[in-house]
Structure 1
Amino acid sequence: MNQRNGLCHVVSDGRRGIENQALGLAEAVMRRIPLTIEVRHVPRPTWRDVLARLLGRPVAPRADEHNTAPALWIGAGRAALYQARRDRLRYPDAFFVYVQDPGPMADLFDLVIAPEHDGVTGDNVVSTLGSTNRITRERLNEEKARFSEHIARLPEPRIAVLIGGPSKRHRFDRATIGRIREALSGLREAGASLMITASRRSPPAVHAMLKELRDEPDVWLWEGDSAGDNPYFAFLAAADSILVTADSTNMLTEAVSAGKPVMMLEVGGSDGKFADLHDALVARGYGCWFMGDVESWPVEPLRETDRAAEILATRFLAREKKRGA
């Protein structure tokens, strides 16, 4: 390693679903080469940032508390995309990596790691099935043990239920919420217990519907940070199968990365490019569409984050060696 002491900046706007994609990749790289991870939360781009990009003008660096140059820079989300333009000026020797689709800004990065269904191509692009994440066997085992007492109170089979929310393409309309309610009721009638968590994107009507179940003995409902420690990883670890609304790439990918069969629940709107992800999960044996019954079959964990990290580490070390670092 070089004079930058293996420092890795993980850059996002701080939203958990965005940050975890970059942080999970950084942690996977750290399992391969010595790294010190520094998490940075940066503001979303201003109109000046957008205008500068459209006009092709350089963006002047802005001072902040992160003055130590990293060896590796990993970002996710729109805020990181614009921060990369500034940080390229500040840290010209760093190896820059972007997770997700960078659009027309791909040339800013030494490596782009993007989901297959985004259709990103280029010499510096690595495609993954779904998104990178923080799922590891060790983390799942630790979290399952931490929440073991609560898990033990739930009868088998245990179904983790991961509920997303509306997006540009997907609607959580009355029909979708009714479909979720019907699915949860059917699973319980079949004798399954439910471990339920909703996204920050989930609309109030979803939360109101879920609160009706909070006191049921066969339901564990986690209602957000105010409810205490997040059992999300424990849900994935303890589940026999996982029900996921089809809008969330992150939740779908995390579920299959946990090595559990995934039942996808249809939501309103148009799947668009996400249909490619759904089709790939079905074709490769990771998922199926929820048809009302508890489905279960043997699944090997998806290890796309590790695969991407191996490629990243190899390219990063090759560049460092070439530079004589």
Structure 2
Amino acid sequence: MSEQAVEIWAVADTRRGVENQAIGLAEALSRVLGGKVHRAVIRDDGYVTLPDADNPAIWIGCGRPAIAVARQHRKSYPDARFVYVQDPRGHYGQFDAIVAPQHDRLSKPNSLSMIGSPNRLTPERLAAEKARFDDRIAQLPGPRAAVLIGGPNKRLKMSPAVTAAIAQRCQWVLEQGHSLMVSTSRRTPLPLRQLLAGLEENERCWVYDGEGENPYFSFLAAADRIFVTEDSTNMLTEAAFTGKPVYSLPLDGNPGKFRLLHAALEAKGILRPFLGRLDDWTYVPLDETTRIATLLARQFSRIE
């Protein structure tokens, strides 16, 4: 690529999980290439708010709405390299590179496979996020466990039995002497959010329900071990970045292809099912985002 700072666009709608994948890969690529990241927002009405920057060298999109935008931007920015995160479902020739989860089993000449999904984590960011909330975290004596709760999807459901089991396991971890840092998502059903909110009656529990500043990354940084519901590729991948023990919390249903993700994390010694005991183990932190960014940088350098 050019010796000048590379202009990299991250193009996605406003869904947090989708947005973070595009921005995360863009930021990683900027660290490798010495570039500058700009955000192009696809609004709910389909209008695209462009950044105050011309002629991107690299265009990175994520989410279905980004596919149509890529088609338009190909005409406006013919010299840009276009990257899509996830499986574009038939629009394979529209992109110079496709970054797909390994569990999608996509095999195309222009595809790169990764475990999980891109994220925005770096050691520096985790340290900075922990520092932002140090005063509040200091009120939670160690050891600390982070509990990351997603929600139902097409394959997995949060039945009343699952809801009760998650709440009971949180209470059990508290009883083992751990402090709890609990983060729910927009997809978390109300009955479970209400049960988890009740845990804050214990002074060793902090439950984040979406109000105020988000301490999610500081929870990852401050935790000694992490519990994650099995539905979320993003949260599992982010937990795996920390190098800390990660336990999966099961939901009802058949995970389907996501069993491949769970198996890949288990094979690397990252993920274990929670069997009613607290173990300690170590593994090489998972940083697939940097690995993929490095591969893309090499690929695009060969094109120049």
Question: Normalising by the residue count of structure 2, what TM-score does the alignment of the two structures yield?
Answer: 0.94
**Deviation at residue 95 of structure 1 after TM alignment:** 0.2
**Deviation at residue 8 of structure 1 after TM alignment:** 1.2
| Residues in 1 aligned to 2:45 and 2:256: alpha-carbon distance in whole angstroms | 26
| Residues in 1 aligned to 2:18 and 2:238: alpha-carbon distance in whole angstroms | 13
The one-letter amino acid paired with 2:290 is: D
In structure 1, the partner of 2:290 is 306
Instruction: From the superposition, tell whether residues 144 and 64 of structure 1 become closer, same or farther in structure 2 (CA, over 3 Å).
Output: closer
In structure 1, the partner of 2:90 is 104
Contact 1:45 1:82 in 2 (8 A): no
In structure 1, the partner of 2:161 is 175
**Deviation at residue 244 of structure 1 after TM alignment:** 0.2
| Residues in 1 aligned to 2:50 and 2:44: alpha-carbon distance in whole angstroms | 17
Matches within 5 A, 1:133-144: 133-144=119-130
| Residues in 1 aligned to 2:275 and 2:5: alpha-carbon distance in whole angstroms | 52
Matching of residue 11 in structure 1 with residue 7 in structure 2: no
| Residues in 2 aligned to 1:171 and 1:258: alpha-carbon distance in whole angstroms | 27
Structure 1 residue runs of 4 or more that deviate by more than 4 Å after TM superposition: 1-5, 62-67
Matching of residue 246 in structure 1 with residue 230 in structure 2: yes
| Residues in 2 aligned to 1:313 and 1:245: alpha-carbon distance in whole angstroms | 33
In structure 2, the partner of 1:209 is 195
The one-letter amino acid paired with 2:182 is: I
Contact 1:45 1:78 in 2 (8 A): no
The one-letter amino acid paired with 1:280 is: A
Matches within 5 A, 1:138-157: 138-157=124-143
Contact 1:263 1:295 in 2 (8 A): no
Instruction: From the superposition, tell whether residues 140 and 207 of structure 1 become closer, same or farther in structure 2 (CA, over 3 Å).
Output: same
Contact 1:5 1:71 in 2 (8 A): no
Contact 1:163 1:198 in 2 (8 A): yes
The one-letter amino acid paired with 2:162 is: T
Deviation by residue 1:4-42 (Cα, 9 ceiling, x = unmatched): 962211011111111111111111111111322111111
| Residues in 2 aligned to 1:192 and 1:63: alpha-carbon distance in whole angstroms | 46
**Deviation at residue 215 of structure 1 after TM alignment:** 3.2
| Residues in 2 aligned to 1:189 and 1:63: alpha-carbon distance in whole angstroms | 50
In structure 2, list runs of 5 or more residues that go unmatched.
none
Deviation by residue 1:177-209 (Cα, 9 ceiling, x = unmatched): 011111111111111111000111111112111
**Deviation at residue 68 of structure 1 after TM alignment:** 2.0
Matching of residue 292 in structure 1 with residue 263 in structure 2: no
Contact 2:40 2:48 in 1 (8 A): no
| Residues in 2 aligned to 1:299 and 1:194: alpha-carbon distance in whole angstroms | 23
The one-letter amino acid paired with 2:247 is: M
Contact 2:41 2:49 in 1 (8 A): no
In structure 1, the partner of 2:220 is 236
Contact 2:41 2:48 in 1 (8 A): no
Matching of residue 195 in structure 1 with residue 178 in structure 2: no
**Deviation at residue 212 of structure 1 after TM alignment:** 0.8
| Residues in 1 aligned to 2:270 and 2:44: alpha-carbon distance in whole angstroms | 35
| Residues in 2 aligned to 1:203 and 1:108: alpha-carbon distance in whole angstroms | 38
In structure 1, the partner of 2:107 is 121
Q: CA RMSD in A?
A: 1.9
**Deviation at residue 129 of structure 1 after TM alignment:** 0.8
Q: What is the number of residues matched between the two proteins? A: 303
Matches within 5 A, 1:84-103: 84-103=70-89
**1:298 aligns to what SS in structure 2?**
coil
Matching of residue 165 in structure 1 with residue 163 in structure 2: no
| Residues in 1 aligned to 2:50 and 2:160: alpha-carbon distance in whole angstroms | 46
**2:90 aligns to what SS in structure 1?**
helix
Instruction: From the superposition, tell whether residues 4 and 14 of structure 1 become closer, same or farther in structure 2 (CA, over 3 Å).
Output: farther
In structure 1, the partner of 2:267 is 283
In structure 1, the partner of 2:41 is 41
Contact 2:8 2:30 in 1 (8 A): no
Matching of residue 274 in structure 1 with residue 258 in structure 2: yes
Instruction: From the superposition, tell whether residues 136 and 4 of structure 1 become closer, same or farther in structure 2 (CA, over 3 Å).
Output: closer
Contact 2:40 2:49 in 1 (8 A): no
| Residues in 2 aligned to 1:305 and 1:89: alpha-carbon distance in whole angstroms | 28
In structure 1, the partner of 2:206 is 220
**Deviation at residue 315 of structure 1 after TM alignment:** 1.2
The one-letter amino acid paired with 1:214 is: E
| Residues in 1 aligned to 2:263 and 2:105: alpha-carbon distance in whole angstroms | 15
**1:103 aligns to what SS in structure 2?**
coil
The one-letter amino acid paired with 2:295 is: I
The one-letter amino acid paired with 1:130 is: G
Instruction: From the superposition, tell whether residues 8 and 253 of structure 1 become closer, same or farther in structure 2 (CA, over 3 Å).
Output: same
Deviation by residue 1:281-325 (Cα, 9 ceiling, x = unmatched): 111100100112223211221010010000111112222x2xxxx
